[in-house]
């Protein structure tokens, strides 16, 4: 009995910590609709900055509290800088471009933290009061846990009062409901957004500083915390603070008791919770359906086929690519092979999120299933490489078909997060089923068939398959099916009125995208000679998202351009500089500012400006 | 689009230019080195210092076979596919004579398999997975550090002396944690048949829920604890364990915890009396260690870490192998490395011919607080050769 009580208290303390981070994220999303990928970075900055500040202060509780507040203010100032210099310039860009920008910030912050604070984990010495405990039912419970338990609900109460009992809070809530209306009534939205972003950043900073007594400031905490925070926000219902609190409680308590019963469940528990909640409650525990933002960027223009000049350019690039083995060395070919595969992978995601209107945060699931499918086919079933390259897309498509039914009922970020949950569950299986998949050591020796071992042959094969795949996707999306899909995206009601079944259309698009991504995964398995759980990881999903957003969602050439630029940039930077994260992050930020519609979108717009005037 | 890429490549060429200039000259022996510099900086940055120091020493002493050595280094970002691409770049474009390095086990294995496919020598520094030289071992792959099995074997003797019956384990939830627990259970049971493993915890790497993990372990009322967590997870685990009294009156055996990388962040919370493997850098006085520590301090103005030793020994072990082969030819090196002895800061070690594992050992001792700082006491050096299974057992595990 005593144990259960203590474990319950421990769970409550973890819930409070989770809520602190998630609260900032949900506030920012609710008002600005920015999917702030850099929230984990703000948390990490809170830990490092908190370490610097708290190390300099006396160790009494009052000074500690002051130090935490100062840290919060410092991180809020950083958040304000990010908002005013970067995000403010791209609110008018298509949704999710902000995600790309904040990802650039993540990379920049990683290198800045390494340069400023060094590579070692930093720990704050704990004075006696932080190490104190009380004995409850013969078990020790840390006093700091009890403090943390109190801070969570207090923070919830404070935020609730702020949002419901102040004029500022009322305006923020109004902006959450209808941004344009608030603007029309003469409220300066820009200042409101800046303040909200600073508040969210400050909460993340406080969360980071409060985590110090239980651990360390380290360079991995940004990415560890961001997924959990997203899960909490989504499970709770986007923008809902009580929802986030409830979700934190649910997840932390399930975790505290789950690890007692099933010690190995740690990798996947939160994602199972998220999947179950989203299947049962498509808008999270306490979320409401999102009111669509009105006007400007969110009603995309009709996608038209490329102008002849662009087609000629594409043909010329393709010709050049086909001739590449005549003058490029083996290493250049391996980069080109990766680029070709990235092109297909990005195009497959684009088919889903552009015309299909389904943003996916877990597109790596299909890529990884394809890669593992190919590896199992050659290593387990002793099949040939061509057979494996058929099994790869087929397997991924089958999984997409089975899982897609749950996905297509949802929309927006909820849909994106359900795909993420599925990808993470697949990842955990690949990671944990060591006897079948080799765990994180992966499956080795998946080299191409003898006739394709020459890098040139394999490159030509890859180029042919990927180009054909991309052109086929393009063909399908310009066929009546593609137009029907876009109709269902732009207005589900009107599409239904003319007899289109939106759910089936989306499911078909998902299966098609899954198959194409699976094929890309299969090709990667042979290009690298091995498969790893990393192929199903969040990082891989984010790569796909970056490529599509960088290139531009609103054109078929976008993902291709994005894939080539991103892969090329990453491969070269990794080779030439230690500070590749900084340079890549700055490049992404610069590209976002220069090409707010994505590379292809902006080029297209400039092209039109000269002609339609 | 077209223009952009060309600009990009031009920029890249400018950035890479110094390396190209440096690469010309009197054909040095080139070592292509790959490691997770940005993903695991706490280990790999001291490691880089280590190999840079070694390369300086080797070249100052006239190089090897009359040629200088040059290390061409790459960051793999912690991703096996990137590591494989960079291995290709090093071999094909930089024309390196052999590959070396890596930290993460999956990357070590991937490069090992790549080395077999491309018939190039690969000398792994840090990856601990047993598969690298046993189940997935191959002609072209050698590994320096004591493996997971060896670490467990070194600890099992002292663990048996605790005469504890009820054990619990806590390990990160991936292959390294799983093998470390598997071997420890097996080796301890061999030494102490009445031992009982009553529970285990598998926190996700980097995401330990320390409070819940600690109280779940305490609830099992164990006599002793076997810990495999490290880095940030270890710090969280130790802090919760201290407050909640998990370690009071219990023996704790812990892998790698004595390495400065993982021990120093524990600070004044370092629990006393844990039996650990590690590197007692502040109390080593024998000539080989002292010479290395002094040289390192003189150059970098800080004490070396375990990574520094690995980096330094890695270069020495490669140079010794090349000297014995009499050439940087891959096949000659693959044959000659086996049986070659080399100097390390820890003393002489040997490349084993039977499985390409080196006999570099490590220190086993107890954690303690010395003047408020974490340290290792009662340590002894355990030679890697004494922590390996019999040749017959090894031969059975390696593919023909």
pLDDT at A311 over 90: no
Residue with tokens 């649910």: A250
pLDDT at A435 over 90: no
pLDDT at B48 over 60: yes
Q: What distance in Å separates residue A122's CA from the closest CA in chain B?
A: 6
Q: Mutate which of B89, B115, B131, B307 to disrupt the A interface (most A C-beta within 10 Å)? A: B89
Identify the band that residue B22 occupies on the pLDDT scale cut at 50, 70 and 90. very low
Q: Which residues of A touch B110 (CB under 8 A)?
A: 442, 444, 528-530, 532
Q: pTM of this prediction?
A: 0.91
Pairwise pLDDT comparison (B220 vs A610), residue with the higher score? B220
Residue B41, pLDDT score: 93
Q: Which residues of B touch A330 (CB under 8 A)?
A: 88, 92
**Contact criterion met (CB below 8 Å) for A251 and A232:** yes
Q: What distance in Å separates residue A43's CA from the closest CA in chain B?
A: 15
pLDDT at B2 over 80: no
Least confidently predicted of B11-25, B89-103, B341-355: B11-25
Cβ distance B210 to A215 less than 8 Å, yes or no, reads yes
Q: What distance in Å separates residue B153's CA from the closest CA in chain A?
A: 22
Q: Which residues of A touch B106 (CB under 8 A)?
A: 440-442, 532, 534
The mean pLDDT of B26-55, rounded to a whole number, is 94
The mean pLDDT of A303-330, rounded to a whole number, is 86
Q: What distance in Å separates residue B399's CA from the closest CA in chain A?
A: 14
Residue B1, pLDDT score: 36
Q: Which residues pair with B357 in a beta bridge?
A: B143
Query: What pLDDT digit, counting tens, does each position of A343-354 carry?
Result: 999 999 999 998
Cβ distance A334 to B38 less than 8 Å, yes or no, reads no
Query: What pLDDT digit, counting tens, does each position of A164-220 carry?
Result: 999 999 998 888 777 788 888 888 888 899 999 999 999 999 999 999 999 999 999
Q: What distance in Å separates residue B57's CA from the closest CA in chain A?
A: 24
The mean pLDDT of A517-526, rounded to a whole number, is 97
Instruction: Enter the tokens of residue A147.
Output: 């403090």
Q: What distance in Å separates residue A260's CA from the closest CA in chain B?
A: 6
Q: Which residues of A touch B37 (CB under 8 A)?
A: 578
Cβ distance A264 to B173 less than 8 Å, yes or no, reads yes
pLDDT at A303 over 70: no
Residue A291, pLDDT score: 57
CA Rg value for chain A: 25
Cβ distance A331 to B89 less than 8 Å, yes or no, reads yes
Residue B11, pLDDT score: 42
Percent of chain A scoring above 70 in pLDDT = 97
Please give the domain boundaries of chain B with CATH numbers for all domains: 2-147+286-361 (3.40.50.2300), 149-283+363-391 (3.40.50.2300)
Pairwise pLDDT comparison (A607 vs B242), residue with the higher score? B242
Identify the band that residue B18 occupies on the pLDDT scale cut at 50, 70 and 90. very low
Q: Which residues of A touch B226 (CB under 8 A)?
A: none
**Contact criterion met (CB below 8 Å) for B252 and B225:** yes
Selecting from B5, B93, B110 the residue whose C-beta is nearest the C-beta of A568 gives B5
Q: Which residues of A touch B212 (CB under 8 A)?
A: 7, 10-11, 14, 255-256, 259-260
Identify the band that residue A296 occupies on the pLDDT scale cut at 50, 70 and 90. very low
Q: Which residues of A touch B218 (CB under 8 A)?
A: 139
Residue of chain B nearest A144, judged by CA positions:
B243
Query: What pLDDT digit, counting tens, does each position of B258-280 carry?
Result: 999 999 999 999 999 999 999 99
pLDDT at B23 over 60: no
ipTM score assigned to the predicted complex? 0.91
Identify the band that residue B9 occupies on the pLDDT scale cut at 50, 70 and 90. very low
Q: What distance in Å separates residue B140's CA from the closest CA in chain A?
A: 15
Which residues fall within 8 angstroms of residue B27, CB to CB, at 6 or more apart?
B67
Q: Mutate which of A127, A135, A215, A318 to disrupt the B interface (most B C-beta within 10 Å)? A: A215
Selecting from B2, B243, B265 the residue whose C-beta is nearest the C-beta of A123 gives B265
Identify the band that residue A438 occupies on the pLDDT scale cut at 50, 70 and 90. confident
Residue of chain A nearest B20, judged by CA positions:
A576
Q: Which span out of A191-195, A316-320, B52-56 was modeled with the highest average pLDDT?
A: B52-56
Q: What distance in Å separates residue A504's CA from the closest CA in chain B?
A: 36
Cβ distance B204 to A266 less than 8 Å, yes or no, reads yes
Cβ distance A574 to B89 less than 8 Å, yes or no, reads no
Residue A613, pLDDT score: 41
pLDDT at B12 over 60: no
- Between the CA of residue A171 and those of A22, A179, A187, A286, what are the distances in Å? 22, 10, 8, 21
Q: Mutate which of B141, B232, B262 to disrupt the A interface (most A C-beta within 10 Å)? A: B232
Pairwise pLDDT comparison (A283 vs B374), residue with the higher score? B374
Residue A602, pLDDT score: 80
Q: β-strands B251-258, B224-227: how paired? A: parallel
Instruction: Enter the tokens of residue A126.
Output: 């704990």
pLDDT at B14 over 50: no
Beta strands in chain B (DSSP E): 29-35, 69-75, 98-101, 122-124, 141-143, 166-170, 196-201, 224-227, 251-258, 275-278, 341-344, 347-350, 362-370, 373-382
Residue of chain B nearest A257, judged by CA positions:
B212
Residue of chain A nearest B211, judged by CA positions:
A10
Q: How many CB pairs under 8 A join A and B?
A: 229
Q: Which span out of A317-321, A331-335, B224-228 was modeled with the highest average pLDDT?
A: B224-228
Q: Which residues pair with B201 in a beta bridge?
A: B170
Q: What distance in Å separates residue A8's CA from the closest CA in chain B?
A: 9
Selecting from B12, B174, B202 the residue whose C-beta is nearest the C-beta of A440 gives B174
pLDDT at A297 over 80: no
Query: What pLDDT digit, counting tens, does each position of B291-304 carry?
Result: 999 999 999 999 99
Compute the distance between CA of residue B382 and CA of residue B113 in angstroms, rounded to an integer. Answer: 30
End-to-end CA distance of chain A: 77
Residue A300, pLDDT score: 61
- 3-class DSSP state of B342: strand
Residue with tokens 């002493």: B61
Residue of chain B nearest A454, judged by CA positions:
B118
Selecting from A126, A214, A444 the residue whose C-beta is nearest the C-beta of B110 gives A444
Cβ distance A574 to B86 less than 8 Å, yes or no, reads yes
Which residues fall within 8 angstroms of residue B187, CB to CB, at 6 or more apart?
B152, B153, B156
Residue A604, pLDDT score: 76
Q: Shortest CA distance to A504 belongs to which of A404, A422, A418?
A: A404
Residue B19, pLDDT score: 44
Q: Classify residue A256 by its DSSP letter.
A: H
Residue B37, pLDDT score: 95
Find how far residue B49's CA is from the centre of its chain: 15
The mean pLDDT of A134-150, rounded to a whole number, is 93
Cβ distance B4 to A565 less than 8 Å, yes or no, reads yes
Q: Shortest CA distance to B40 belongs to which of A220, A168, A126, A529?
A: A220
Query: What pLDDT digit, counting tens, does each position of A555-603 carry?
Result: 888 899 999 999 999 999 998 888 999 999 999 999 889 888 888 878 8
pLDDT at A294 over 60: no
C-alpha neighbours within 13 Å on the C-beta side of residue A491: 7
């Amino acid at each position: 009995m005593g144990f259960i009580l203590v474990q319950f208290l421990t769970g409550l303390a973890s819930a409070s910590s989770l809520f602190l981070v998630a609260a900032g994220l949900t506030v920012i999303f609710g008002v600005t609709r920015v999917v702030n990928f850099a929230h984990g970075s703000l948390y990490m900055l809170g830990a490092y900055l908190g370490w610097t500040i708290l190390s300099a202060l006396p160790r009494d509780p009052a000074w500690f509290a002051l130090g935490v507040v100062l840290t919060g203010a410092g991180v809020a100032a950083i958040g304000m800088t990010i908002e005013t210099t970067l995000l403010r310039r791209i609110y008018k860009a298509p949704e999710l471009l902000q995600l790309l920008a904040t990802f650039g910030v993540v990379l920049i912050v990683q290198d800045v933290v390494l340069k400023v604070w060094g590579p070692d984990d930093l720990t704050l010495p704990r004075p006696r009061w932080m190490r104190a405990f009380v004995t409850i039912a013969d078990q020790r419970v840390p006093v700091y846990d009890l403090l943390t338990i109190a801070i969570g609900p207090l923070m919830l109460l404070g935020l609730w009062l702020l949002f419901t009992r102040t004029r500022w809070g009322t305006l923020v809530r109004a902006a959450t409901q209808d941004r344009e209306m608030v603007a029309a009534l003469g409220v300066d939205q820009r200042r409101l957004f800046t303040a909200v972003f600073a508040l969210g950043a400050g909460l993340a900073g406080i969360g980071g500083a409060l985590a110090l007594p239980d651990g360390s400031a380290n360079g991995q905490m940004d990415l560890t915390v961001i997924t959990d925070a997203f899960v909490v926000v989504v499970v709770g219902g986007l923008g809902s603070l009580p929802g986030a609190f409830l979700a934190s409680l649910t997840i932390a308590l399930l975790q505290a008791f789950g690890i007692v019963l099933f010690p190995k469940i740690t990798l996947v528990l939160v994602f199972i919770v998220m999947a179950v909640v989203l299947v049962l409650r498509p808008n999270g525990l306490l979320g409401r359906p999102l009111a669509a933002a009105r006007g400007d960027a969110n009603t995309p223009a009709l996608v038209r086929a490329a102008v002849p000049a662009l087609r000629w350019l594409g043909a010329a690039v393709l010709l050049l690519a086909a001739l590449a083995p005549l003058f490029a060395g083996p290493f250049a070919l391996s980069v080109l092979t990766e680029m070709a595969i990235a092109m297909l992978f990005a195009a497959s995601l684009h088919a889903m999120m552009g015309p299909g209107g389904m943003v996916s945060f877990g597109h790596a699931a299909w890529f990884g299933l394809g890669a593992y499918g190919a590896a199992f086919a050659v290593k387990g079933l002793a099949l040939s490489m061509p057979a494996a390259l058929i099994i790869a897309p087929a397997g991924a498509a089958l999984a997409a078909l089975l899982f897609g039914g749950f996905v297509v009922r949802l929309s927006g970020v909820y849909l994106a997060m359900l795909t993420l949950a599925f990808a993470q569950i697949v990842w955990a299986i690949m990671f944990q089923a060591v006897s079948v998949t080799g765990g994180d050591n992966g499956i080795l020796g998946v080299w191409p068939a003898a006739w394709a071992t020459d890098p040139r042959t394999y490159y030509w094969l890859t180029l042919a398959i990927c180009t054909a795949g991309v052109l086929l996707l393009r063909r399908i999306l310009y066929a009546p099916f593609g137009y029907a899909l876009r109709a269902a995206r732009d207005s589900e009601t009107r599409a239904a009125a003319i007899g289109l079944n939106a759910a089936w259309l989306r499911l078909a698009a998902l299966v098609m995208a899954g198959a194409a991504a699976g094929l890309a995964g299969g090709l990667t398995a042979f290009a690298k000679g091995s498969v790893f759980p990393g192929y199903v990881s969040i990082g891989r999903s984010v790569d796909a998202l970056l490529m599509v957003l960088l290139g531009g969602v609103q054109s078929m050439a976008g993902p291709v351009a994005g894939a080539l630029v991103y892969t090329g940039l990453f491969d070269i930077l990794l080779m030439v500089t230690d500070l590749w994260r900084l340079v890549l992050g700055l490049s992404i930020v610069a590209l976002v500012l220069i090409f707010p519609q994505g590379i292809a979108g902006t080029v297209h717009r400039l092209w039109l400006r000269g002609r339609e005037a | 689009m077209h223009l952009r890429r060309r600009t990009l490549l031009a920029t890249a060429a400018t950035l890479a230019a110094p390396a190209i200039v440096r690469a010309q000259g009197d054909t040095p022996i080139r070592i292509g080195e790959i490691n997770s510099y940005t993903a695991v900086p706490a280990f790999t940055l001291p490691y880089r210092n280590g190999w840079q120091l070694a390369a300086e020493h080797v070249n100052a002493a006239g190089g090897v076979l009359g040629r200088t050595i040059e290390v061409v280094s790459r960051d793999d970002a912690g991703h096996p596919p990137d590591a494989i691409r960079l291995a290709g770049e090093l071999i094909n474009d930089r024309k390196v004579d052999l590959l070396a390095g890596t930290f993460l086990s999956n990357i070590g294995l991937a490069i090992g398999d790549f080395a077999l496919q491309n018939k190039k020598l690969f000398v792994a520094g840090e990856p601990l997975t047993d598969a690298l030289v046993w189940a997935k071992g191959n002609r072209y792959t050698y590994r320096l550090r004591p493996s997971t099995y060896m670490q467990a074997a070194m600890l099992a003797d002292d663990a048996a002396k605790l005469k504890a019956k009820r054990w619990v384990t806590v390990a990160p939830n991936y292959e390294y944690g799983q093998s470390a627990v598997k071997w420890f259970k097996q080796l301890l049971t061999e030494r102490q048949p009445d031992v009982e493993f009553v529970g285990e915890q598998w926190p996700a790497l980097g995401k330990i829920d320390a409070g819940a993990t600690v109280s779940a372990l305490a609830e099992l009322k164990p006599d002793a604890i076997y810990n495999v967590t490290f880095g940030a997870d270890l710090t969280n685990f130790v802090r919760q364990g201290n407050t909640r009294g998990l370690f009071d009156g219990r023996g704790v055996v812990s892998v790698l915890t004595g390495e400065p990388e993982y021990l120093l962040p524990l600070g004044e919370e370092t629990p006393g009396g844990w039996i650990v493997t590690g590197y007692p850098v502040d109390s080593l006085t024998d000539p080989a260690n002292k010479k290395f520590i002094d040289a390192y301090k003189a150059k970098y103005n800080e004490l070396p870490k375990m990574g520094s030793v690995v980096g330094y020994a890695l270069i020495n072990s490669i140079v010794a192998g090349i000297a014995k082969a009499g050439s940087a030819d891959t096949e000659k090196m693959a044959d000659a490395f086996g049986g070659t002895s080399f100097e390390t800061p820890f003393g002489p070690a040997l490349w084993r011919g039977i499985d390409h594992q080196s006999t570099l050992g490590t220190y086993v001792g107890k954690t303690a607080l010395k003047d408020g700082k974490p340290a290792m006491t009662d340590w002894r050096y355990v030679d890697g050769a004494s922590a390996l299974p019999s040749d017959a057992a090894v031969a059975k595990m390696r593919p023909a």
